[in-house]
Amino acid sequence: MTIPTVSVVMSVFNGESYLAEAIESILDQTFSDFEFIVINDGSTDRSGAILESYVTRDLRLHAYHQENTGLVGALNRGCAIARGKYIARMDADDIAIGDRLMQQVAFMEKHPEIGVLGSAVETIDRTGKTLGTHVNPVEDKELKAALLRSDCPFWHPSVLMRTNTFISAGGYRQIVIGAEDHDLWLRIADHSQLANLGTVLLKYRLHPGQVTVDTNRRYVLSWLATQAAAAARRQGQADPLDSIGELTPGFLEKIGVSQTALNAALTSRYLRSVSTMCEAGQYAVVLDLLNDVFRAPEWNYTRDRPAADLYLMAAQAFWHQGEYAKSVLNVIHAFRIRPLVLGRPLKSFLRQLRYYVSQFSASKIQPI
């Protein structure tokens, strides 16, 4: 059997709504020298049947059905099966742009020092409507700095990586569920260079299941642990995550992550999730999420500015839901916490006013 250049690896769990569109976006790639490995991770909907219908149509697609193990287990199985020189990640609810693989393979062939390559993405809502474009840093130095200070600068399903780089790093780690990709990039960064293409090569779908309080809390615990582990490795110490069975706030404290740092990271993550759902127009989801956030223990330790920002987002969501009194009440809460927040709408208004004045001035007929 001919060895393909690329192994595209996807995991699906109850993804029937968008699965066909995701599959077709890979099978229709302009670059055709690939195998498509899809792990059906215990789906109870029609995902398995959809996969089998494509297996009979295109020999490049290989479906593997298993009991549910979670994303990390499914991805590690798919990557272990991969025979290609490169592994391309793909998710079952996203859409790959037609020349994604062609562009990424061409770049990697010219840059053997790069172990992981991502791209810019276009975010879309559940209906496929475009929400925005996101371009992350593209150079190795910027990417490594971003990995150490903030959220992951790679969109996971946009990534193409060298198979030998993935194997050398040890694959995804179960202990950091939610930040398993960030952890992998940090470990790869210890020995390899990183890059992003500034071109949009993936449509990334935003939907409510991505932003519950529980998923945010799990992500933050994992993300902080990956940061602490990376710091230990840079100092020549053993990776603390190699010797534990469960990731808890208590363990984070033992490796130098304080409760204050955990609370701040949780608040920052909530802000990001709420903002993402506002971007997607999922205002009912925003209100459900904020209701849980305001009841969470860390809310009592939230600092002025993040708390004011969250109240303003609640105001925005209530306004779009037609609950104007509640919207005004949340603006008042934000103002009481941080009076300066009212300067933001004013600044936005002034920017728009300056723009319209400049447009009017440019359109005026000049005297001869």
In tens, the pLDDT along 238-264 reads: 999 988 888 888 899 888 888 888 888
Give dist(CA 129, CA 99) in Å, integer: 21
Distances, alpha carbon 239 to alpha carbons 62, 229, 244, 289, 353, in Å? 35, 5, 10, 34, 54
Q: Which numeric CATH code is attached to 6-205?
A: 3.90.550.10
- Phi-psi domain of 66 (left: phi exceeds 0; alpha: psi -120 through 50; beta: other): beta
Tens-place pLDDT, residues 12-68: 999 999 999 999 999 999 999 999 999 999 999 999 999 999 999 999 999 999 999
Distances, alpha carbon 283 to alpha carbons 215, 271, 287, 348, in Å? 19, 14, 6, 22
Sign of CA dihedral 67, 70, 75, 76: negative
What pLDDT score was predicted for residue 358? 56
Contacts of 29 (CB under 8 A, 6+ apart): 96, 98, 99, 100, 101, 102
What pLDDT score was predicted for residue 1? 66
Q: What are the residue ranges spanned by the domains of the chain? A: 6-205, 213-302
Alpha carbon of residue 125 to chain centroid = 14
pTM listed for this prediction? 0.85
β 34-41/6-12 pair status: parallel
Instruction: Give me the amino acid identity at 68.
Output: N
Tens-place pLDDT, residues 264-293: 888 888 888 888 888 778 888 888 888 888
pLDDT range class, residue 310, cuts 50, 70, 90: confident
Give dist(CA 130, CA 18) in Å, integer: 16
What pLDDT score was predicted for residue 341? 58
